[in-house]
Amino acid sequence: MGFADVARELLLVAPADFVAERTARQRATRKDDRELASAIGGLRKPAPAAWVVDLLAHEGALDEAVDLGPAIRAAQADADPAEIRRLRKQRAGVVDALAQAGADLASDAGHPLTPAVLDQVRATIEAAMADPHAGAAVRSGLLVRPLESAGFDDVDLDGALADPDAVPDAWSGSDAPPIPIEEGRRARKASRASRQTAPEPQPEPQPEPEPVPAQKRPSRAAPTREPKTDPAAARRAARDAETAARAESRDADAALDAAADALETAEERRADLERQLADATAEVERLERARDDAESASDRARDLLAAAQRHRRDVGR
């Protein structure tokens, strides 16, 4: 099996059991393929929402959602409001059904979902419908973090897959337009509003004011203008902050996984030492019994020798 196949299997394991199962698979593989074992050891523990989406992908439940994306994009391109409304309603129904199916799968595995995780599952499914590359990512069963669609921007797939090379269709920077619908409509209105500037009214001619003495002439302060906000810059700053937060979260997850691995290794080492101590103690006890048996046999042999010598002397008389 290749790394992608092993990763797909491990990503279906419940989050609470993931680290132990990954360690067991890594050790079982190390003897035959050290490179694969190293890749398995570096596999990230999936976020709960990503785990649920991988369960849905394993069941083949995401195909309808992903296949609905091109239809919505075509309706948007044709500017067909009626078709867009119909497909939006269909999209909402599909997302709700898949979210409920994911919640059922998680409950069956003994890990009920929180409302926050369920919202991330919904957002990931919507992102898969909005961007064809995100659709390929969620279909792969290799997702390790949830996804989110942000209007016209491509879905960020950086660090989203356990093995990006196994899913060549899932890459950021797609030229395919995402599904704008509500978010896109608002973005377009904001963009048009920022580009259109109304002409400033010309001031009406005012009568020449009467001259006043210099000492009584009021001072004029320069008019102040409110700084213009740049919506695009604000969105970029928000995306940068979100990217930084995701990086910190990934680092924290990696550190936590490493600590869990180290703890598990230490516990297994301690168990090995305890087994070795028990084996050594048992061996010492066995050797002591063997020594006692040998001493007893030696005593019996001496007694028999003494009896034989006495018997020979008696016969000689």
Q: Is pLDDT above 90 for 300?
A: no
pLDDT value of position 190: 46
Report residue 245's pLDDT band, with 50, 70 and 90 as the boundaries: low
| Interval 135-141 mean pLDDT | 92
3-state secondary structure 228-292: CCCHHHHHHHHHHHHHHHHHHHHHHHHHHHHHHHHHHHHHHHHHHHHHHHHHHHHHHHHHHHHHH
Contact 79, 181 (CB under 8 A): no
Q: What is the pLDDT of residue 252?
A: 53
Give the residue carrying structure tokens 């409950």.
107
> With 50 as the cut, is the pLDDT of residue 233 above it?
yes
Spatial CA neighbour of 36 closest among 66, 6, 15: 6
In this prediction, residue 263 has a pLDDT band, given cuts at 50, 70 and 90, of low
Q: What pTM value is reported for the model?
A: 0.54
Mean pLDDT for 118-128 is 93
Q: Has residue 21 got a pLDDT over 90?
A: yes
* pLDDT for 29 beyond 90: yes
Are 140 and 71 in contact by the 8 Å Cβ rule? The answer is: no
pLDDT in tens, 219-229: 444 445 555 56
**Which comes out higher in pLDDT, residue 282 or 32?**
32
Least confident of 19-33, 59-73, 220-234: 220-234
Residue that wins the pLDDT comparison between 217 and 106: 106
Of 64-68, 137-141, 240-244, 250-254, which one has max mean pLDDT? 137-141
Mean of the pLDDT values across residues 46-61?
Answer: 94
The pLDDT score that the predictor gives to residue 175 is 44
